[in-house]
Protein backbone atom coordinates (compact mmCIF):
# COMPACT_ATOMS: atom_id res chain seq x y z
CA UNK A 1 0.00 0.00 0.00
CA UNK A 2 1.49 3.33 -1.02
CA UNK A 3 1.66 6.05 1.58
CA UNK A 4 0.01 9.36 0.89
CA UNK A 5 2.29 12.36 0.22
CA UNK A 6 4.53 13.55 3.06
CA UNK A 7 2.85 15.28 5.95
CA UNK A 8 3.85 16.60 9.35
CA UNK A 9 1.46 14.13 11.01
CA UNK A 10 3.37 12.47 13.85
CA UNK A 11 1.89 9.04 13.11
CA UNK A 12 2.73 9.32 9.40
CA UNK A 13 6.28 10.19 10.44
CA UNK A 14 6.40 7.09 12.69
CA UNK A 15 5.11 4.95 9.80
CA UNK A 16 7.88 6.38 7.58
CA UNK A 17 10.43 5.70 10.38
CA UNK A 18 11.29 9.38 10.75
CA UNK A 19 10.39 9.16 14.44
CA UNK A 20 11.40 6.08 16.43
CA UNK A 21 8.79 3.89 18.08
CA UNK A 22 8.68 0.49 19.77
CA UNK A 23 7.03 -1.48 16.98
CA UNK A 24 4.91 -4.44 18.00
CA UNK A 25 3.57 -5.57 14.62
CA UNK A 26 3.46 -4.33 11.04
CA UNK A 27 1.80 -5.38 7.83
CA UNK A 28 1.11 -3.72 4.47
CA UNK A 29 -1.81 -1.69 5.79
CA UNK A 30 -0.99 -0.84 9.39
CA UNK A 31 1.59 -0.34 12.10
CA UNK A 32 1.20 -1.23 15.77
CA UNK A 33 3.51 0.36 18.31
CA UNK A 34 3.77 1.00 22.05
CA UNK A 35 2.14 4.22 23.28
CA UNK A 36 4.80 6.68 24.50
CA UNK A 37 2.54 7.66 27.44
CA UNK A 38 0.89 4.37 28.43
CA UNK A 39 -2.37 4.48 30.37
CA UNK A 40 -2.27 0.75 31.18
CA UNK A 41 0.45 -1.91 31.54
CA UNK A 42 -0.24 -2.81 27.90
CA UNK A 43 -1.02 0.19 25.70
CA UNK A 44 -0.46 -0.11 21.97
CA UNK A 45 -1.55 2.18 19.16
CA UNK A 46 -2.87 0.67 15.94
CA UNK A 47 -2.57 3.09 13.03
CA UNK A 48 -3.36 2.68 9.36
CA UNK A 49 -0.50 3.54 7.03
CA UNK A 50 -3.02 5.46 4.95
CA UNK A 51 -3.54 8.88 6.50
CA UNK A 52 -7.11 9.35 7.70
CA UNK A 53 -7.67 12.31 10.00
CA UNK A 54 -10.23 10.46 12.12
CA UNK A 55 -12.80 7.70 12.04
CA UNK A 56 -15.35 10.25 10.81
CA UNK A 57 -13.03 11.08 7.90
CA UNK A 58 -13.25 7.50 6.63
CA UNK A 59 -15.50 6.60 3.72
CA UNK A 60 -17.30 3.49 2.57
CA UNK A 61 -14.15 2.77 0.56
CA UNK A 62 -12.24 2.41 3.84
CA UNK A 63 -14.52 -0.30 5.26
CA UNK A 64 -12.07 -3.14 4.58
CA UNK A 65 -9.23 -1.16 6.17
CA UNK A 66 -11.32 -0.43 9.27
CA UNK A 67 -12.16 -4.11 9.64
CA UNK A 68 -8.50 -4.98 9.13
CA UNK A 69 -7.47 -2.68 11.98
CA UNK A 70 -9.87 -4.39 14.36
CA UNK A 71 -8.72 -7.87 13.33
CA UNK A 72 -5.14 -6.70 13.77
CA UNK A 73 -6.00 -5.73 17.36
CA UNK A 74 -7.09 -9.32 17.95
CA UNK A 75 -3.84 -10.63 16.48
CA UNK A 76 -1.81 -8.34 18.74
CA UNK A 77 -3.81 -9.45 21.78
CA UNK A 78 -3.24 -13.09 20.85
CA UNK A 79 0.51 -12.57 20.39
CA UNK A 80 0.70 -10.80 23.75
CA UNK A 81 -1.48 -13.50 25.37
CA UNK A 82 -3.99 -10.95 26.63
CA UNK A 83 -7.08 -12.62 28.04
CA UNK A 84 -9.05 -9.38 27.80
CA UNK A 85 -8.47 -5.95 26.34
CA UNK A 86 -10.15 -2.67 25.51
CA UNK A 87 -10.04 -1.20 22.01
CA UNK A 88 -10.81 2.53 21.81
CA UNK A 89 -10.79 5.21 19.16
CA UNK A 90 -11.46 8.87 19.88
CA UNK A 91 -13.06 11.06 17.23
CA UNK A 92 -12.50 14.80 17.60
CA UNK A 93 -10.95 16.96 20.29
CA UNK A 94 -14.02 16.76 22.55
CA UNK A 95 -13.65 12.98 22.64
CA UNK A 96 -9.94 13.16 23.47
CA UNK A 97 -8.37 12.78 20.01
CA UNK A 98 -4.99 14.51 20.23
CA UNK A 99 -3.40 13.33 16.96
CA UNK A 100 -5.28 13.94 13.71
CA UNK A 101 -4.65 10.46 12.33
CA UNK A 102 -7.10 7.62 12.89
CA UNK A 103 -5.77 5.28 15.55
CA UNK A 104 -6.99 2.68 17.99
CA UNK A 105 -5.75 2.27 21.54
CA UNK A 106 -5.38 -1.33 22.67
CA UNK A 107 -5.32 -1.35 26.48
CA UNK A 108 -4.93 -4.24 28.89
CA UNK A 109 -3.30 -5.34 32.12
CA UNK A 110 -5.49 -3.48 34.61
CA UNK A 111 -9.20 -3.33 35.44
CA UNK A 112 -11.08 -1.11 32.99
CA UNK A 113 -13.84 0.97 34.52
CA UNK A 114 -17.17 1.93 32.99
CA UNK A 115 -18.15 4.44 31.94
CA UNK A 116 -14.77 5.52 30.55
CA UNK A 117 -13.66 9.13 30.79
Q: Could you tell me the strand order of the sheet in which 42-48 lies?
A: 23-26, 30-34, 42-48, 104-108, 86-88
- The residues pairing with 104 across neighbouring beta strands, listed in sequence order, are 46
Check 43, 101, 103, 105 and give the catalytic one: 103
Compute the distance between CA of residue 20 and CA of residue 31 in angstroms, rounded to an integer: 13
* 103 a catalytic residue: yes
Strands (DSSP E) contained in the chain are 23-26, 30-34, 42-48, 86-88, 104-108
Q: Which residues are catalytic?
A: 103
Amino acid sequence: MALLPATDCVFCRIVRREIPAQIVLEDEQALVFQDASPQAPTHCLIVPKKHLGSLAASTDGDAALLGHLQRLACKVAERMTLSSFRLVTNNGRGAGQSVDHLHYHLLSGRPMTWPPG
